[in-house]
Structure 1
């Protein structure tokens, strides 16, 4: 996702290096993106910034191989959900800076939300480098590392919640008699317009919702049903579950 987003955002491919475990995957990356594909050891020496973007359960094996080849002056950026920066420092030369990042899939359309946190040895300059890396993919924000599990639950997994909601609303539109494509187009454009209003108006979402909600009207009837079915409580519970799972991942790979 990161590589695809950076290429789409216009990064020169000669500034990008990828690694791959399988030869066929390496060939696919070269063909698709035109970037260099090196071994882990070669990439650790050649790259200025080393981005670790693997599944959390694979990070230990990768770092055991990669760690001895990373000089202490290289910046390591982790995109591994749930894993704290201290996980990576175990494999690195003492003092190596590590920055923890949580982005999301809208990076593929340059609309990501990326949260960046400094590890023990990362400076403001290192955070600035990470921000420059992810800025072409959307917006960035700095947060303390102890907030990253909440970030993972809210924005890292967030696109899935919106897709789930659109899926449910599409089914509702069909139930109400609309063709699937018509229902889909109505919902998607409504979501885009609503998101832009939230971003650009500066208004609280409650105020924007109230502007649509007339007394004894259709909207308040729908909202009453949402409240009756505990949708707000379900969302709170869902995000807590996602946060707790991020903590479990850290514990399992600690």
Structure 2
């Protein structure tokens, strides 16, 4: 009971704070998102507002042949090199009942894979969902144990939180995670160096969906597409703890497919075959 109460508190804080924050953090040079929502996108709407699609998106709802892209190897200390129109889908903070499952269903519909950066406490509380993510072939990553700002708690405490989160996610999913992202993108040069030295890979962000804002699903989709078009692809940050994200994802995927994007699969260089403890995953 105490564990579930603690998890609820974490989930509430994630819903309020979001994961990426509102500023670039030292060392997070690959966070290049500069799209600013227009005033018309600032008014919250109902979480189930329909997301408008172009006619082309409606005409091609689910043919997987032209949408799923290649597998991209993620090597510690090396940049993730995506080609023009290639997209990597990433989801932070889960798993969460009622939302993660909806996101998985949408990904299955379009026959594409994503990377799930799980919070250890959430994976420990909902291990069946966490394992389902892994069994469906998605890439498993970690996001600390309880979503602390690692840049603010000291080096030793930060590394301990990373290791604890990795252990919880590994136990829940049955896989040794190979990808890591900093909560709030709050890193430091020392932490990044230590993570790479451990043989791990750190995945940063090119396109921030800002789905942690109190926006409607349609607004989240429009904001994400605008940033995606500007960058002509990239790593998209989303969260599988928000109903608005689960609601808008089918439309976002349909529109991306209609515009010729390819969804790539990120895989750490050692994958789940590592025998030594892995603390993180990197892409810069």
TM-score when scaled to structure 2?
0.25
Whose helix proportion is higher, 1 or 2? 1
TM-score when scaled to structure 1?
0.27
**Bigger Rg over Cα:** 1
